[in-house]
Structure 1
């Protein structure tokens, strides 16, 4: 009798243990499923904020859609600054000048080449080469009108003409418009300069070099 009672007691304890284990397994499974579902929804939501751009079918670039719009003004200023460095930073070497101007031409429309042609016809580049003059530009500020393309841009800079005995500082002010275009290896910002004009380019001072 006692043996049978102990057997029934052990059997009941075993069933109770099995039920606890089963309930625990179900609870853990539900918790795991909830965590996975939350992670999946969060991943999908974040993926919607991303843009995948296929560049010529070769490279995959990841860009955040919101960040792209936020940083567009900064990109516009960097585009204009890079153009001025290419176009106005010149060494007294015809090949180097041609290389700079060719690279600068990718940054805008025909107004860039019109400015180059006008300076060339006036003998400006010949004077730089013959006088062994190094020309540098220092961009002080870029004023941007608008929060998105097309932008109206005015650039304030100083031009330095370094000669063997003197350094001449000029005030340089340019104006242009910026419109969105497709990005490329030659134009990573995806902007085109339009209607480039030089509003002012006069001497400020000339100092003797020691």
Structure 2
């Protein structure tokens, strides 16, 4: 009786030890897995400091905001290209910024405007050109756009309002300091540039 009781107690103790070891192993594996998962999630998050307070910045794919970024790129390009004060250095600077955002078709249009004396006329008449975006139609499937804007040319003698419609396409390129949206306007041309009223 004592021997059977001793055998049962030994089996029970052995079984308890084996189950405890198995449970500890499972708990350790689960803890290591969860910890590594948590560390990789934390490493993928970006925090922005405002003074001493960290704020979690949310990452998003460029594709999720592509239409909005494309429209912002198109609008910024047109502002650089068409907002012109009577300052030769500033005109060169803004046109230089615009040419980073488009291919050679924008350079051709700039050269045509130079040959027609558009920029020298702005400087000599102290004109101020500003453009207002009325709307942008953008097809995200074929990446083509149509820009509708109104340009105001203020001269000492008179003010002129013009309707400007341009079309083009958008290509993805690497983001740079001069091209923060990582987009390039291609096949850009002006469909309409006509006087509206005085």
TM-score normalised to structure 1 length? 0.69
Say whether 1:186 aligns with 2:182: no
Show structure 2 runs of 5+ residues with no match: 1-19, 47-56
1:43–1:141: structure 2 CA closer, same or farther, 3 Å change rule? Answer: farther
Q: CA deviation at 1:100?
A: 1.2
Tell me how far apart the structure 1 counterparts of residues 167 and 34 of structure 2 sit (CA, whole Å).
Answer: 52
Q: CA deviation at 1:120?
A: 0.7
Give secondary structure in 1 for the equivalent of 2:61.
helix
Give secondary structure in 2 for the equivalent of 1:71.
helix
Superposition misfits of 4+ residues, deviation over 3 angstroms: 32-48
TM-score normalised to structure 2 length? 0.73
Q: Which residue of 2 aligns with 1:153?
A: 145
Tell me how far apart the structure 2 counterparts of residues 97 and 198 of structure 1 sit (CA, whole Å).
Answer: 19
Q: Which residue of 1 aligns with 2:6?
A: none
- 1:6-25 counterparts in 2 under 5 A? none
How many residues are paired up? Answer: 165
Q: Which residue of 2 aligns with 1:109?
A: 103
Show structure 1 runs of 5+ residues with no match: 1-22, 52-61
Give secondary structure in 1 for the equivalent of 2:181.
coil
Tell me how far apart the structure 1 counterparts of residues 138 and 102 of structure 2 sit (CA, whole Å).
Answer: 17
1:131–1:73: structure 2 CA closer, same or farther, 3 Å change rule? Answer: same
